[in-house]
Amino acid sequence: MKTVVLISHLLCAGLWLGCVLTEALFERALLGKGRDAERTLAALHWRVDVWVEVPAFVAVVLTGGLLWGMSPHTGLLLWKVAVAMVAVLANVHCVWLVFKRWHHAQRNEWPQFEATDQLQHKVGAVVLLGVLAAAAMGVALAWP
């Protein structure tokens, strides 16, 4: 049972990380390319968050919770969980910012769009670093 949960956890974490990296590519490709491109970016990012990213990190939390109950609670595991939870909470905030930015784009509120966009990128960096750090700690935990 633990193996199935662990594989599910790793697949969902990989999906989450891939989603974050894909969204970063969207941002690089479309941001600053005109208002129509930014409106498209906001809508695309919103869709990816709703249909891929949120389900992926929720699945990571659920499978991580199951693994928590099946694993010895070492110091490194506690740090991994703490870092992962920072990434999850930052991602929840980032999703809210994505929705807020989409709302501003739909209403042509470009100064608010830009302010929200800047904050979203800062919080998104916390998500990315948190996911990468938790993954590195997970590798360290699995290393014989």
The rounded distance, in Å, linking the Cα atoms of 34 and 42 is 12
pLDDT digits (tens, 9 = 90+) for 53-68: 999 999 999 999 999 9
Q: DSSP class of residue 50? A: I
pLDDT digits (tens, 9 = 90+) for 11-57: 999 999 999 999 999 999 999 999 999 999 999 999 999 999 999 99
Distances (CA, A) of 48 to 26, 65, 80: 11, 24, 26
Question: What are the domain boundaries of the chain?
Answer: 2-142
**Per-residue pLDDT, 65:** 97
| pTM for this model (two decimals) | 0.94
The rounded distance, in Å, linking the Cα atoms of 90 and 84 is 10
58's tokens: 């929720």
pLDDT-based confidence at 142, cuts 50/70/90? confident
pLDDT digits (tens, 9 = 90+) for 80-136: 999 999 999 999 999 999 999 999 999 999 999 999 999 999 999 999 999 999 999
